[in-house]
Amino acid sequence: MASSVRPLQKDEDRTSFRSGDADLDHFFHRYAGQNQFRHRAGVTYVYEHEARIVAYITVTAWTIESDILAVVEGRKFPPYPLPALKIARLATAEGERGRGYGSALVAYACAMAFKMSREMGCVGISTDAKRDAVDYYAARMLPGQRWRLMAASALGVSPRTGLPYSAG
Ligand SMILES: CC(C)(COP(=O)(O)OP(=O)(O)OC[C@H]1O[C@@H](n2cnc3c(N)ncnc32)[C@H](O)[C@@H]1OP(=O)(O)O)[C@@H](O)C(=O)NCCC(=O)NCCS
């Protein structure tokens, strides 16, 4: 069974994708292409399984305020916004959930952030995920490292709230 993660292609038909979340579906159908090909504001990667798009993730370059990172990590950082990779959107099609597609795309983004950290600088992954999706991300970030801290800190969640992350 052929499966791959690849960038969205220009003008490919994606109208049949349904995650059940109206906002995420609307973005994918209507704006993911122009976001990527016209504005260069972010890139959407799709998980393709047997010639069907079963999940997507949209990532973009981002920054995080150094004082937020300092609170989370308990040490100082340079006093300017620091580079990060942001997971802007993630959705798996209804009927395709629980098969690891979402986890595979988060792992793909983590690998991308790690590569960025070595090649151009990247302090971690940021996301402004919906509150009820935080646990999903937190469980999939690389263990004990900044990637999972960023998911919480980007939400403005205090490290004292007991979210399951650890300072790497
Ligand atoms: C969240 C989402 C992307 C997960 O996709 P998926 O391909 O089913 O994910 P995986 O197969 O890798 O993982 C499934 C596991 O995640 C769990 N999970 C799903 N949503 C979760 C959430 N909001 N919080 C915690 N766990 C969650 C499932 O219960 C399942 O657990 P199990 O492995 O113990 O059975 C998908 O449910 C979705 O599209 N949701 C609607 C949009 C959304 O919330 N997007 C993310 C934030 S913008």
The CATH code of the domain that includes 135 is 3.40.630.30
**Does the C-beta of 91 come closer than 6 Å to ligand 1?**
yes
Query: What is the greatest pairwise CA distance in the chain?
Result: 49
- Please state the pTM of the whole predicted model: 0.87
Fill in the DSSP letter of residue 147.
H
Question: Each residue of 86-136: pLDDT tens digit?
Answer: 889 999 999 999 999 998 898 888 888 878 888 998 888 877 766 667 778
Question: 124: Cβ below 6 Å to ligand 1?
Answer: no
Does residue 47 have its Cβ closer than 6 Å to ligand 1?
Answer: no
CA distance 16 to 119: 37
Domain membership of residue 55 (yes or no) is: yes
Q: Is residue 40 a part of any domain in this protein?
A: yes
- Whose alpha carbon is nearest atom 28 of ligand 1? 98
Tell me how far the alpha carbon of residue 22 is from its chain's centroid. Answer: 19
Distance, first Cα to last Cα, the chain: 38
pLDDT-derived band at 140 (thresholds 50, 70, 90) equals confident
Number of domains comprising the chain:
1
Residue 160 counted as domain residue: no
Min mean pLDDT across 23-27, 51-55, 65-69, 108-112 is at: 65-69
Residue owning the nearest CA to atom 21 of ligand 1: 136
Question: From the CB of 57, is ligand 1 less than 6 Å away?
Answer: no
CB 92 within 8 Å of CB 133: no
Residue at 165 is within a domain: no
Q: What is the pLDDT of residue 150?
A: 52
